[in-house]
């Protein structure tokens, strides 16, 4: 253990530690797709015999779920964006790393990737999982700065773990050099089971929705998720289908003003009823790694309309919905209309999507892929110690 880490450990919370079978996950988002992914992974690793700790901001849905599963949750006060508080965030994280003494530090998304790699600096086996590269999230004038950071930080990273081939190709195109692995996202197909017409009707009754055509968008309301593009497209749909409803499921700083034909559901702990109620699920994101919402919707046997960003093309097969290429609300509206007017077509696309998820995106398949990546890294680390020592 480094001297700086040892000093920091004196003020850090104490958790159980164990040589080569301890992993520390770090994440700033405490809801949404990254949190869902991390909760599933941590619970699986705990069940497999790992000692698992997660550093994340308190309080939040993620820490509550992790604690209920028996995972050690370590409070890490961190804002979503880099700012004046970054040095303190790095110091706090270094203290947690020293206290846990993990064999693997697994950093999720850009903020944890920034603070975590500054805290560890290659001193431990480090996995960075972008869940979409930071260059997509920053203003255009800062993209080269973000790319330059990723190139430097790759030198402190043992594995760049991507959720889609497109994410890997983007990293390589940015000049981020290192060892890559691609493990596509997955969902629990038992929890997200196909919803038949009866379940659709029952879900609508529980949610207070009528029988008319319904499009559902699930996600934090923000620029990334593109609800502003969807609302622009919805004006075209509302003008021709006044009985259609759009439900925005999620909250955030970008929450728009109320308008006719749009339901603002806010954040929900469990979106399954909303998927069941939908005729079509729409994902208008400006950027993604491989979003979980299309996978969850397909697992519920729902047609999906999504913008062609990140790994969406890899997760949404032909016949399961539509990919919209352009940043064009008119194209988005044109893709939604036939699925709102022809329920038989939408339901058939849902069946195609369900079959695809069962074959390629089962959660167990994702978890096994991460396990193989860890085994490879730890075997390599042991061999390196044997050679050096």
Give pLDDT tens digits for 196-251.
999 999 999 999 999 999 999 999 999 999 999 999 999 999 999 999 999 999 98
- Distance set, CA 119 to CA 16, 90, 123, 310 (Å): 21, 5, 9, 29
Place domain 197-361 in its CATH homologous superfamily. Answer: Glycogen Phosphorylase B; (3.40.50.2000)
The domain made up of 3-186+364-378 has a fold known as Rossmann fold (3.40.50)
Which of 199, 213, 336, 321 has its CA nearest to residue 263? 213
Q: pLDDT averaged over the chain?
A: 91
pTM: 0.90
Residue 382 pLDDT > 60, yes or no?
no
Which of 133, 141, 138, 139 has its CA nearest to residue 174? 133
CA distance 106 to 374: 10
For the chain, the domains span: 3-186+364-378, 197-361
Residue 387 pLDDT > 90, yes or no?
no
Q: Judge if 3-186+364-378 and 197-361 fold alike in CATH terms.
A: yes
CA distance 345 to 338: 8
Radius of gyration of the chain (CA): 21
Report the 3 state secondary structure along 327-374. Answer: CCHHHHHHHHHHHHHCHHHHHHHHHHHHHHHHHHCEHHHHHHHHHHHH
CA distance 223 to 207: 26
Per-residue pLDDT band for 3 (boundaries 50, 70, 90) equals very low
- Distance set, CA 241 to CA 71, 246, 363 (Å): 48, 11, 37
CA distance 321 to 334: 12
Residue 186 dihedral angles phi and psi, to the nearest 5°: -145, 165
Tens digit of pLDDT for each residue in 305-358?
999 999 999 999 999 999 998 788 999 999 999 999 999 999 999 999 999 999
Q: Say what percent of the chain tops pLDDT 70.
A: 92
The residue to which tokens 């003494």 are assigned: 101
Per-residue pLDDT band for 260 (boundaries 50, 70, 90) equals confident
Beta bridge partners of 27: 108
Tens digit of pLDDT for each residue in 16-53?
333 458 999 999 999 899 999 999 999 999 999 999 99
């Amino acid at each position: 253990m480094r001297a700086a880490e040892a000093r920091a450990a004196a003020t850090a919370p104490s958790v159980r530690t164990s040589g080569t079978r301890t992993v520390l996950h770090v994440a700033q988002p405490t809801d949404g797709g990254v949190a869902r992914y991390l909760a599933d992974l941590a619970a699986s690793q705990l069940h497999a015999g790992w000692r698992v700790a997660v550093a994340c901001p308190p309080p939040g849905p993620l820490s509550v779920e992790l604690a209920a599963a028996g995972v050690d949750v370590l409070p890490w006060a961190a804002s979503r964006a880099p700012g004046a508080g970054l040095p303190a965030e790095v110091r706090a994280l270094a203290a947690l790393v020293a206290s846990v003494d993990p064999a693997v530090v697994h950093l999720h998304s850009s903020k944890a990737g920034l603070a975590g790699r500054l805290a560890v600096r290659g001193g431990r086996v480090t996995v960075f999982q972008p869940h979409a590269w930071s260059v997509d999230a920053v203003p255009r004038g800062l993209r080269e700065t973000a790319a330059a950071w990723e190139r430097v930080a790759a030198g402190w990273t043992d594995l760049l773990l991507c959720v889609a081939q497109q994410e890997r190709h983007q990293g390589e195109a940015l000049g981020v050099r290192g060892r890559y692995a691609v493990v596509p996202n997955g969902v629990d197909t038992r929890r997200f089971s196909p919803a038949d017409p009866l379940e659709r009707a029952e879900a609508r009754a529980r949610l207070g929705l009528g029988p008319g055509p319904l499009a559902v968008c699930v996600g934090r309301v923000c620029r990334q998720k593109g609800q502003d593009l969807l609302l622009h497209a919805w004006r075209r749909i509302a003008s021709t289908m006044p009985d259609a409803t759009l439900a925005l499921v999620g909250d955030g700083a970008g929450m728009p003003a109320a308008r006719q034909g749009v339901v603002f559901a806010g954040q929900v702990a469990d979106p399954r009823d909303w998927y069941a109620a939908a005729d079509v699920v729409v994902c208008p994101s400006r950027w993604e790694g491989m979003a979980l919402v299309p996978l969850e919707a397909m697992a519920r046997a729902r047609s999906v309309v999504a913008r062609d960003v990140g790994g969406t093309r890899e997760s949404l097969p032909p016949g399961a919905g539509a990919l919209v290429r352009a940043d064009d609300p008119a194209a988005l509206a044109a893709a939604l209309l036939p699925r709102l007017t022809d329920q038989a077509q939408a339901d058939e696309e849902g069946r195609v999507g369900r079959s695809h998820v069962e074959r390629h995106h089962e959660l167990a398949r994702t978890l096994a892929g991460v396990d193989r990546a860890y085994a490879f890294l730890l075997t390599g680390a042991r061999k390196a110690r044997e050679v050096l020592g």
